[in-house]
Structure 1
Amino acid sequence: MEKEKVFQQLFSMSFTPMLVMNMDGDIQILNEACCHLFKTTEERLLSCNVFEEPKRFFIEKHEVEPLRKQEEEVVLLKKKVDQQFPMHIHIQRTEGDIPLLVVQWKEFSSSIEKQEEVIRKMKQYKQFVQQSQDAFIVTREGRIQYLNPAGVKLLGGEKKEEYIGRPWLHFIHPEHLEIVKERMVQLMNGMSVRPRVDVKLLTKKGVVIIESSATKIKFEGQDAIQYIIRDVTDRKKYDEMASKSEKLTMVSKLAAGVAHEIRNPMTAIKGFIQLLKASKQYNEEYNDIMLEELNRVESIIQEFLTLAKPKIENSYHPKSLNQIIRHVTLLLDTHANYKNCRIINEISDEITIFCEENALKQVFINLIQNALESMSKGTVKVTVEKRNEYGMVIIEDEGCGIDEQSLARLGEPFYSTKQTGTGLGLMISYRIIEQHQGHISFASKVGVGTKVEIALPYIKEPVNIS
């Protein structure tokens, strides 16, 4: 009752002309400013019907039809003959057992063309939001203030009234609750956040995965957050199925490749055994060839097992990336000298990384050996530096280079630019770097050389290196 008295006082004291009417246009109450606008008494206005006198009130019955459906408010722009500037008519529907319409008239000191453009854009945006397949949800102080039909559908409801005023966090999966809370605080404090995040939502239909963007806006004059949400549950399922299919395809390719690579040396071994059996004599040359082919089979099996070996987290320790590179280049110096090549190091920053040292050494040995084998003579330059949040190892050679078509296929199983290569070495290198949350990139020009960049996240805080 106290709230009703306050509302009535504010209503009657307002300088903005206002009246309340029912859905049929019959006026229920009005304020003094309204009487002043229409230059008549309260008694005479109360006996009027707004829709029956459109020239007086500037409102046509068909203009408020949207309020009988889903719309909450309508904005009209009209101009009287004796007025220079337009009149802005704001009509809002109240909630309750018997819906009523609150009408306000406001004059503006700007051209009608400008006002019409503003209203046109407002209507276009509202229409876009209402018809959008993406959910639009507005929250203020953590509670839902508005949601469009797509938002109602996303949450599994039938009417938006089911959700207005409810805490937004009640619909967030516990797995992502802290992330959403943090984003809400950051947005309201004016901080920048990631444009889009994937979040699990609890709805009447069950758990759905959404892609969401959030923006700080003004809603009814107060700070609020607008979420634009898309249901990506089906897309995620499809991506997962596609990933599994891709893995199965990769396994079949690997199996076929291993069979092919092993079959060639096994055919040779079988042929020489048959020759030895036929001659019934010991042949040193045949033995050497068979041992060489068996070593090749063993090498292929070893590389395949390395590729299949899972990552062991407890084998990771803080290590100096600079020291790892020094050890590797020192190890390969003799091989470089033998090929009339040299390796030079350029190490500018001390970088500590969390890694499995032997696995990384295997990667760097493989890449530097590839660089050396691409040259008859020349220099391999190995640079270690910091770049943003990564420790970078850059390996540059002066070799024959790789064409674009071959460059795109690097890392595929059993694809190699070397005549005797299996392609597994580079594939293993990719896997090891990915396990270290890093990445490898290649750039090359035929006749000039190749540049390999390995990025590994480094430890920013000082630690004891084991």
Structure 2
Amino acid sequence: MIRNKEGEVEKIVAVGRDITKRKQAEDELCATKERLESFIKNNGDAIWVIDRDEKVVETNAAFDKLFQWKSEEIIHQLLPITPPNLAQQTRELHDQVLSGQSVIGFETVRLRKDGSLVDVSTTLSPIHDTTGHIIGIAGTCHDITEKKQAEQMLINSEKLSIAGQLAAGIAHEIRNPITAIKGFIQLMKSGVSEKKLYYEIMSSEIERIEMILSELLILAKPQLIHSDRKDIRNILSQVTTLLESQAILSNVEIITECEPDLPPILCDQNQLKQVCINFIKNGIEAMSLGGTLLIQVKTQNENSLILRFIDQGCGIPEDIITKLGQPFYTTKEKGTGLGFMVSKKIIESHNGTINVFSKDKEGTTVEVYLPTFN
């Protein structure tokens, strides 16, 4: 208001400012907030938010359902879903996220309120404030129990397939020492001398049968992951013993070349044996006219070694190599396509990688890179 000398209002000055954009921004911000809250609340995956001290800020209904914790029970409390034996691993993951990195699709196990464990795939992302500082962590995970069960079924199916294909070779290998043992027993019954020599030969043959059968039992053992320091040369020696008879029947010579002083690897011995069995069998079957299967082991660098399986077989066309690892996709008449997929999964679970190089009608090279344990 503008007044005159007498104090009366003569004029009114008005100032207007266009706040359309501000109102639109506020509306958009409100709508975004509502959408985000709706997304979190109604998402089928478990979602939680924790601060830098790992105390719970927010959870959604799917979290409550999966882990059996109600939001009001754990709000402002430490996140209670990490098993005690994985506390250090979780701490390292959180440190990684608080440094600005994200963790995507990490497969692990988490703890329910009733003490049971559940297989989950977890993604963790940093939460920033308006100044760009990281103030917490947003986590999502979904239950992969059925996926794990399906993978185990595929592994069991592949083991049965391998056992069936090995049966002919194993039967042939065991028949020879059994025939010798039966012959010596008949000689001993007839009263022939030199019985001590016969005992030694029979004992040697029985030990060979036991060795073959013990290696075959690897395929029937449950896939419990038990990592330990192992010498890759010993694993290859045991596997080639198992497959030697099949190679002989196929007129294939298995040659192993290993560098001296190879560092040990941290692995589940049974699983790695299964990988070697798959690749050696593939090499033997690819050489229908016989040939040489070369197995090489070399150190790639101070932290890893390379394991090569080189055959002289029919090779794999380039358009098929890209499809390796797909279930039930195979070039074999009676194959399942599961062998390579299972092997690849095992190698990846050991933090390794696999490459396949092949030329049609010239042979195939499978390269497996595994971390060493120094």
> Aligned partners of 1:227 and 1:313: how far apart in 2?
29
1:282-309 deviation digits (Å, cap 9, x = unpaired): xxxxxxxxxxxxxxxx999975642324
Structure 2 residue aligned with 1:185, among 82, 91, 95? Answer: 95
Change beyond 3 A, Cα 1:250–1:381: closer
> Aligned partners of 1:316 and 1:380: how far apart in 2?
21
Contact in 2 for aligned 1:375/1:400 (Cα 8 Å) = no
Contact in 1 for aligned 2:288/2:313 (Cα 8 Å) = yes
Contact in 2 for aligned 1:353/1:458 (Cα 8 Å) = yes
Contact in 1 for aligned 2:357/2:366 (Cα 8 Å) = yes
Contact in 2 for aligned 1:172/1:201 (Cα 8 Å) = yes
TM-score under structure 2 length normalisation: 0.52
1:226-268 deviation digits (Å, cap 9, x = unpaired): 11132x2xx42673376258626844873586279859x99xx
Displacement of 1:200 after TM fit? Answer: 1.6
Partner secondary structure for residue 121 of structure 1: helix
**Which structure carries more relative contact order (alpha carbon 8 Å, separation 6+)?**
2
Corresponding position of 2:366: 452
Corresponding position of 2:139: 227
Q: Does the alignment pair 1:172 with 2:106? A: no
Change beyond 3 A, Cα 1:401–1:350: same
Change beyond 3 A, Cα 1:237–1:300: farther
Displacement of 1:394 after TM fit? Answer: 3.8
Contact in 2 for aligned 1:319/1:353 (Cα 8 Å) = no
Corresponding position of 2:55: 143
Partner secondary structure for residue 203 of structure 1: coil
Structure 1 residue aligned with 2:18, among 84, 90, 98? Answer: 84
Pairing of 1:329-368 with structure 2 (within 5 A): 352-354=263-265
> Aligned partners of 1:313 and 1:393: how far apart in 2?
19
Contact in 1 for aligned 2:68/2:112 (Cα 8 Å) = no
Unaligned stretches of 5+ in structure 2?
A: 1-14, 176-206, 241-250, 334-338
Displacement of 1:137 after TM fit? Answer: 1.4
Corresponding position of 1:290: none
Partner secondary structure for residue 307 of structure 1: helix
Displacement of 1:450 after TM fit? Answer: 2.0
> Aligned partners of 1:127 and 1:382: how far apart in 2?
56
Corresponding position of 1:240: 149
> Aligned partners of 1:399 and 1:255: how far apart in 2?
22
Displacement of 1:154 after TM fit? Answer: 3.5
Change beyond 3 A, Cα 1:377–1:243: closer
> Aligned partners of 1:451 and 1:217: how far apart in 2?
46
Structure 1 residue aligned with 2:42, among 109, 116, 131? Answer: 131
Pairing of 1:27-426 with structure 2 (within 5 A): 82-86=16-20, 110-140=21-51, 141-157=53-69, 160-168=71-79, 170-191=80-101, 193=103, 195-203=105-113, 206-218=116-128, 223-230=135-142, 232=143, 235-236=144-145, 239-240=148-149, 243=152, 247=156, 250-251=159-160, 254=163, 258=167, 262=171, 305-309=214-218, 316-317=230-231, 352-354=263-265, 384=298, 386=300, 389-394=303-308, 396=310, 400-402=314-316, 404=320
Q: Amino acid of the residue matched to residue 19 of structure 2? A: F
> Aligned partners of 1:202 and 1:229: how far apart in 2?
13
Displacement of 1:190 after TM fit? Answer: 3.1
Corresponding position of 1:64: none
1:120-140 deviation digits (Å, cap 9, x = unpaired): 323222211121122221112
Q: Percent identity?
A: 17
Change beyond 3 A, Cα 1:212–1:401: closer
Who wins on radius of gyration, i.e. which is larger?
1
Displacement of 1:223 after TM fit? Answer: 0.5
Displacement of 1:217 after TM fit? Answer: 0.5
Displacement of 1:178 after TM fit? Answer: 2.1
Change beyond 3 A, Cα 1:354–1:450: same
Displacement of 1:386 after TM fit? Answer: 1.6
Contact in 2 for aligned 1:173/1:202 (Cα 8 Å) = no
Partner secondary structure for residue 130 of structure 1: helix
Change beyond 3 A, Cα 1:205–1:246: same
Displacement of 1:203 after TM fit? Answer: 1.5
Change beyond 3 A, Cα 1:219–1:154: farther
Contact in 2 for aligned 1:133/1:150 (Cα 8 Å) = yes
Change beyond 3 A, Cα 1:388–1:199: farther
Displacement of 1:198 after TM fit? Answer: 2.0
Contact in 1 for aligned 2:56/2:77 (Cα 8 Å) = yes
Contact in 2 for aligned 1:144/1:165 (Cα 8 Å) = yes
Contact in 2 for aligned 1:138/1:224 (Cα 8 Å) = yes
Unaligned stretches of 5+ in structure 1?
A: 1-80, 87-109, 267-297, 329-338, 418-425, 462-466
Contact in 1 for aligned 2:48/2:58 (Cα 8 Å) = yes
1:351-376 deviation digits (Å, cap 9, x = unpaired): 534499xx99xx79969995996789
Contact in 2 for aligned 1:439/1:454 (Cα 8 Å) = yes
1:300-346 deviation digits (Å, cap 9, x = unpaired): 997564232479998945979xxx99xx9xxxxxxxxxx9xxx9x99
Q: Amino acid of the residue matched to residue 449 of structure 1? A: G
Partner secondary structure for residue 112 of structure 2: strand
Partner secondary structure for residue 444 of structure 1: strand
> Aligned partners of 1:353 and 1:249: how far apart in 2?
28
